[in-house]
A and B are shown apart, each in its own frame.
Chain A
């Protein structure tokens, strides 16, 4: 119901008697009206700090935050009209679950009579309808977390901030609630920023994902963009399970395209590919990234020969690790492969699987070899 803009926002904590911590560094994030955005990043990278600045519990060291074009970062939290679900739940102990969820609505104009109905609605949405009359101290952590989430959702605020809203739930329930949550957010056109450590959740819920590391925004794009064209080595290796294979390598011009060579740990050539249709003036060193899911094995694959190190069937996919000229390469297939440790298998690297990065800066040079390095 509103757009949200973080304009060059920096947060520096200055704990007394300790060195200052730069938790968020010049982050610019433009969230459109009704958009659902996931913040993804390792622990301590500044996700919670960003949400707390938007909500108004931490002041912005530099930069501006705007909702619908209006600067809000100097307003009191009450005047910003955002809802927030806290990482630590923060339920009010003397109130029952029902009142904890409902009190968020007390200040909302026109809510009056239908508070009860709306509490029921979000409670059944989040499967906590049966504990409404209990006290927070007497319910499980997962139930507390859903109560806290319900308290944020019931507001249908123009901007909702959800800090790890479902981290305590088991995968089955999480999958169900994820779908319901998405429907609810879309139905009420709620602009939402949520934090998660679960990539599946980010991909399933979010229109766009913001990947952060050490306080810096690494990439902000659709789940597909993040996966197929990561802007740098960090995003490439952070997204995807199992993570991308990364090797040192070299690209050099050949007639009609470029040759890509991957080096083993001893610096000798481990495998070589030819990428047609590209032009390059001189050879250069690169980091090569290869997506495990796109690696081919068996008949028709001919880029290298790999010696199988391990081969695990996980029930719906196989994780196979190969030794190729000293490099360990992990591949994923959706069929079981009859290969034992020590067997030699032909391995193929489709061009789509390959990403090239600058070894110094880590920035992407080419994705799927569809762009010139």
Chain B
């Protein structure tokens, strides 16, 4: 009996380690790369032993890239700031628009409601490259090209459907009678929405917000076409590391490490709401 469970535990440990290695190894390797120079990275066979250097990070932070073909200015920090601004802005905008809309779609059955909800979702089906040409023409006409406002507007098309559909499911899982009980005690619709409906859907809102943030953060083509250098996010900014004298793998790795940070921190922060969701789930309705 005891032996079986020891064996079982051993097997389980091995399996978990395998899974972790599978998922985490690329990240681990990138972190290692970010402390090496290009020669060390490209050496064959690759080795885990090297003399770590902070050069990649200092390059990124000072914005001066030295290559054999000369000095280049890179705007990595500016890109990082843009990414933060664009992603946060579009997620906040989408939450403000999407959460009440999700509530409406969940609670009220109105004419064409289902069609509208589906249309919003269908924004996600359109291949970005197909939308880009008409979009950039419109942006020129409206004078939105190369503005944060225009970019956030477009990013919001990525976030809104996601938030709408995820949060809607959470609202639908909460029995309307919980809200009714609060309203009959003398509270207005608006207070009930704020005090009862939103807190009960908070895990869903956290999950949807996080997911939307990741999608917005990772977007590439919209910003590439619709914005010029000083408005571009890190995804586009990383192109600068492909230089005339070769690809700067070390800096790319360091840039990846830095640009994963915000998402990682946000995920850690959102985690408590996600876990809260699991424990609340038992008593819906």
Contact = CB atoms under 8 A, between A and B. Distances in A.
Interface of A: 16, 55-57, 76-78, 80-84, 86, 88, 90-94, 103-108, 135-137, 148, 151, 155
Contacts of B175: 88, 90
Contact of A88 (B183, B196, B199, B285): B285
Nearest to A93: B283
A24 to B, nearest CB: 18
Given A16-B109, A86-B177, A103 B188 contact: no
Contacts of A16: 109
A77 B283 contact: no
Interface in B147-198: 175-178, 180-189, 196
B177 A90 contact: yes
B185 A104 contact: yes
B188 A78 contact: yes
B3 interface: no
A40 B182 CA distance: 27
A16 B188 CA distance: 28
Given A90-B285, A137-B280, 11 more contacts: A76-B189, A78-B183, A78-B184, A84-B184, A90-B177, A91-B181, A93-B200, A103-B185, A107-B186, A107-B187, A148-B181
Report whether over half of chain B's contact residues are helix, strand or loop; otherwise say mixed: helix
A78 B178 contact: no
B282 interface: yes
Give me the 6 closest cross-chain CB pairs, A-B, nearest first. A107-B186, A137-B283, A90-B177, A104-B185, A93-B283, A77-B183
Contacts of A84: 180-181, 184
B106 to A, nearest CB: 15
Contacts of A90: 175, 177-178, 180-181, 285
A92 B280 contact: no
A107 B284 contact: no
Contact of A76 (B182, B183, B199): B183
A307 B213 CA distance: 82
27 contacts: A55-B180, A56-B184, A57-B180, A76-B189, A77-B180, A77-B183, A78-B183, A78-B187, A82-B184, A83-B185, A86-B181, A88-B177, A88-B285, A90-B177, A90-B178, A90-B180, A90-B181, A90-B285, A93-B284, A94-B199, A94-B200, A94-B280, A103-B185, A105-B185, A106-B185, A107-B187, A108-B186
What class of interface size applies to chain B in its complex with A?
A: 20 to 34
B64 to A, nearest CB: 53
A187 B184 CA distance: 23
Given A94-B199, A137-B283, A103 B109 contact: no
B66 to A, nearest CB: 56
Given A76-B188, A137-B282, A92 B183 contact: no
B199 to A, nearest CB: 6
Contacts of A105: 185
A83 B184 contact: yes
Interface string B249-285: 0000000000000000000000000000000101111
Contacts of B283: 91, 93, 135-137
Nearest to B109: A16
Contact of B184 (A77, A94, A135, A137): A77
A151 B178 CA distance: 12
Q: Which of the listed residues B176, B180, B188, B280 has the most CB atoms from chain A within 10 Å of its own CB?
A: B180
A103 B182 contact: yes
Nearest to A148: B181
B255 to A, nearest CB: 42
Nearest to B175: A90
A316 B198 CA distance: 55
Nearest to A105: B185
Contacts of A151: 181, 185
Q: Which of the listed residues A81, A93, A103, A106 has the most CB atoms from chain B within 10 Å of its own CB?
A: A93
Contact of A107 (B185, B189, B199): B185
A92 B181 contact: yes
